[in-house]
Structure 1
Amino acid sequence: MLLITCPATRADELVADRRIRSVTNHATHIALHVECPSCGRVHVYRTGRMVAAAAAHAREARVPVPA
């Protein structure tokens, strides 16, 4: 089971493994193509250290630094 957030409806959905359509191994991450039960479309979710590091860096860049 996977817990995903649908980008179309912004709803959190618990998804069965059978809804995974494909898995692609890249050099920096793994891409899961998952059929969304909320909207019926296939969304791509990326996992891995490089993706997590980039997301953390983006969050840090948005936080204002107190003067």
Structure 2
Amino acid sequence: MLLITCPATRSEELVADRRIRSVVNHPTHIALHVACPACAGVHVYRTGRRWEAARAARAQSAVPEARELTHA
């Protein structure tokens, strides 16, 4: 069982394992394609420490640019 948040309805749904449509292993993360019972769509959920680290690094590198623009 998985607890997901539907991006369309913003509701939390408890989803059975049989609703997982595919699992894709990437170098930085694992992508789960899950059929959502709330909106009947298929959503992608990404997991992994390297994915979170890469996302945090991108967010951190974008912050100094925004600060430079406000001080200019």
Q: Specify the TM-score bucket, using the shorter chain as the normaliser.
A: 0.7 to 0.9
Distance 1:10 1:55 in 2: 23
Show the counterpart of 2:25.
25
TM-score (norm 1): 0.79
RMSD: 1.9
User: TM-score under structure 2 normalisation?
Assistant: 0.74
Residue ranges of structure 1 left out of the alignment (5+ in a row)? 62-67
The residue aligned with 2:6 is: 6
Between Structure 1 and Structure 2, how many residues are aligned? 60
* Structure with greater proportional helix content: 2
CA distance in 2, matches of 1:45, 1:20: 10
Q: Highest Rg: 1 or 2?
A: 2
- Distance of 1:55 and 1:18 partners within structure 2: 31
The runs of at least 4 consecutive aligned structure 1 residues that moved more than 3 Å come to: 55-59
Unaligned runs of 5+ residues in structure 2 are 64-72
Identity of aligned residues (%): 75
